[in-house]
Structures are given as C-alpha cells and as structure tokens.
Amino acid sequence: MLDRRWLLLVMGAFALSSCSSTEWVHRHKKQEEFLIDYNKCDKEVMERSNTTMITLGDYQQNVQVEQCLQKEGWRKIRR
C-alpha cells in the first residue's frame, strides 16, 4: 500500500510540474521585442560556432542563446 501512495505522489508532482510554463520578460522592453533580440542572439551564436569551426549540439546552442538573452536583460520566469 505504501508503494502505491508513493507512486501516486510522484505522479502527481510530475503532473503539476509539467503544467507550469516559462516566459521571457524584460524590464524595459515589450514582449514583441523578444523575437528581435532572440534572432540577434541566435545569429551571434551561429556565427561564433562557424568561426571557431565548432559544431554545437542543439542543447549547447540553446544554452548560449539563453545566456545572450540574459545579457540583453531578458529573464526567464516560471508561470
């Protein structure tokens, strides 16, 4: 019986965590400007990886784009 309760608890926690979403926000910019900054950061990351002849995996590329967005003042928040 204890195993079943533990399983239900874990499944419930997983279900709740999967319902949350994230959003990028900026103190001084509107949401419409996010795409402009995102494209700029993505282009910078791609140019950097092409210059150094490093092929980035999708995950590593996403991390670097997110770091660039944070330097631009964007913050990812969980809703």
Q: Is residue 38 predicted with pLDDT exceeding 50?
A: yes
Q: Is residue 67 predicted with pLDDT exceeding 70?
A: yes
Structure tokens at 77: 């928040």
Task: Give the total number of structural domains in the chain.
Answer: 1
Residues with Cβ within 8 Å of residue 75, at least 6 apart in sequence: 24, 25, 26
Domain around 44: 24-78
DSSP state of 24: E
User: Is 61 inside any structural domain?
Assistant: yes
User: Is 74 inside any structural domain?
Assistant: yes
CB count within 10 Å of CB 19 equals 8
User: Is 64 inside any structural domain?
Assistant: yes
- Per-residue pLDDT at 55: 63
Q: Is residue 32 predicted with pLDDT exceeding 60?
A: yes
User: Is 16 inside any structural domain?
Assistant: no
Residue 49's pLDDT band (boundaries 50, 70, 90)? Answer: confident
Among the residue ranges 1-5, 34-38, 59-63, 70-74, the one predicted with the least confidence is 1-5
User: Is 14 inside any structural domain?
Assistant: no
Residues with Cβ within 8 Å of residue 78, at least 6 apart in sequence: 20, 21, 22
User: Is 12 inside any structural domain?
Assistant: no
Q: 53 — phi, psi (to 5°)?
A: 60, 30
In terms of pLDDT, which residue wins out, 41 or 3? 41
